[in-house]
Amino acid sequence: MLDLEVQKLIVDGKLKCWLDLDVNDTRAAYQRAVDFVAAKNLAYNLSSNWLPELGGSELKRVKEQLFPNDFEWSQKGRCAVRLPPQRMYLEIWPEVAPLAVENFVALVLGNRGKGQESGCPLSYKGCHFHRVIKGFVAQGGDFVKNNGSGGECVFPGKKGGFKD
């Protein structure tokens, strides 16, 4: 039986969720560009102090000329003037694998505290993809070691996993 929090997320017998991904630390690079424009818009005669309001030629100028040539800011790392699509949509079926779905949703929500074995938060937040094969698969979920050899489920005493 799925817990009540998971049951509330089911619509038309299907559970839909999403994961937001941060590839190559792009969110931090984007935030650097936002901060750069807010701080330097007057010095560089930009049309706005808010990055999303800049036009295409201004965005190009920020990325290719202004940011890289600003000694103070370029030392902070790269900048990104646009965020690429980074959301992965999933549809999962609790009637087929109720325990796997409950475990997955609990790890996505991060609402079950810490693991009994690892002491790590039972959450996918900050978890890396440890194996990526182009055009085939991206594997992640090892929030214990981040290399595929760890991991823990939310059900105490189910060390070998569960059949479902």
% of the chain residues with pLDDT over 70: 87
Enter the pTM of the model: 0.63
- For residues 115-129, one letter each, b for 16 or more C-beta atoms within 10 angstroms of the residue's C-beta and e for the rest, the string is beeeeeebbbeebee
Q: For 133-161, what is the mean pLDDT?
A: 83
Tell me what pLDDT residue 130 has: 87
Q: What is the pLDDT of residues 62-114, one digit of tens each?
A: 999 999 999 999 999 999 999 888 878 788 888 888 888 888 888 888 889 99
**Separation of CA 11 from chain center:** 24
SS3 159: coil
User: 50 vs 72, 75, 130, 159, 164, CA distance in Å?
Assistant: 20, 21, 36, 50, 49
Which pair of structure tokens corresponds to residue 138? 């991206």
Tell me what pLDDT residue 4 has: 59
Which neighbouring-strand residues pair with 11?
14
Pairing status of strand 137-140 against strand 129-133: antiparallel
- The rounded distance, in Å, linking the Cα atoms of 126 and 139 is 14
State in Å, rounded, how far the first CA of the chain is from the last one: 13
